[in-house]
Structure 1
């Protein structure tokens, strides 16, 4: 019996920022996945990691990311990256979240930064309000920029389960990044890698045993 469903936010309940990264790269003639390659280099100590743990300011991130990009041959500022982070809410996933909340505890673990408005790093008041509505559904939310800890640190998944009062083995965790699923799975959580909404909902329905649509 699943007692809790724990969600990533960006790329799960919203469209993936990776789509925006790729669009930015195409528009500027950059190599595909250039931004992701920077974020994957020295993943615990690079500018992105420091910013998600709120160890540096936006101004510092802007400068450090540009230095990392230039080291790879192209100019991309940290502020440009931040402007791409806020995705569009996926209504079908929010419906699923609502259905899960009717029968189980629901939580959120999101790696985010202290930029934009709210947990979803929204770029407008309208989008920030929509994100706030979704966030209000959760029984507990952990934001890396507030907790000072980020996925895939195993402790962040333990923190979520402790806050919800559930055994990891009775929890499901959804994320769009495999690297963030591995420690959750090691704790005994059922994990779902979100490739798209349809696939994720099919796997989540199989895990919880009831309809989400």
Structure 2
């Protein structure tokens, strides 16, 4: 029996920031996924990791990311990346969240940074309000920038289960990144990789055993 459904935020309940990264790369004449390649280099100690754990300031991230990207061939200010992070709410996924909340506990684990407004790092008050409305649905939210640890550290999934009062084995976890799903699965969670809303909703229904649309 599923007791909790735990959600990533960006790329699951909102459109993926990777889409915005690719548009930026196209505009700048860069190779597709250039930005992701920077974030994947030294993933536990790079500028991105430090900022998500709140171990550096926005000014420091701006400089560090610029240095890391320059070392790979093109200098990109970190602030440019921050401006791309806030995606658009996916209404069908929010509906699924509400359906899950009717029958189980719901939580959120999000890797985010101390920039923009709120947990979703919104760049406008209108978007911040929309994100806040979604965030209010959760029984518990863990933000990496406040917790001081980030996915895929196994401790962050254990923290979520403890806060919700459930076991990992009775929980479903959704994320758009495979690297973040592996430790959740190792702990015993049922995991769903979100490739598209349509696919995710189908997989979620199969996992929880009730309609979510």
TM-score range, shorter chain: over 0.9
User: Partner of 1:106 in structure 2?
Assistant: 106
Match in the other structure for 2:52: 52
TM-score (normalizing by structure 2)? 1.00
Q: Counterparts in 2 of 1:154-165, with a 5 A limit?
A: 154-165=154-165
Q: Deviations over 1:104-146 (max 9, x none)?
A: 0000000000000000000000000000000000000000000
Residue in 2 that maps onto 1:38: 38
Which 5+ residue runs of structure 1 have no aligned equivalent? none
Structure 2 residues without counterparts, runs of 5 or longer: none
Q: Which residue of 2 aligns with 1:195?
A: 195
Runs of 4+ in 1 over 4 A off after TM superposition: none
Q: Deviations over 1:70-98 (max 9, x none)?
A: 00110111000000000000000000000
Within 5 Å, which residues of 2 pair with 1:136-151? Answer: 136-151=136-151
Q: Secondary structure at the match of 1:142?
A: strand
Question: TM-score scaled by structure 1?
Answer: 1.00
Report deviation, 1:7: 0.0
Report Cα offsets for 1:53-74 as digits up to 9, x if no partner.
0000000000000000000110
Question: How far apart, in 2, do the equivalents of 1:174 and 1:85 lie?
Answer: 19
Which residue number corresponds to residue 72 of structure 1? 72
- Once residues 209 and 183 of structure 1 are traced to their aligned partners in structure 2, the CA distance between those partners, rounded to angstroms, is 24
Paired residues in the alignment total: 213
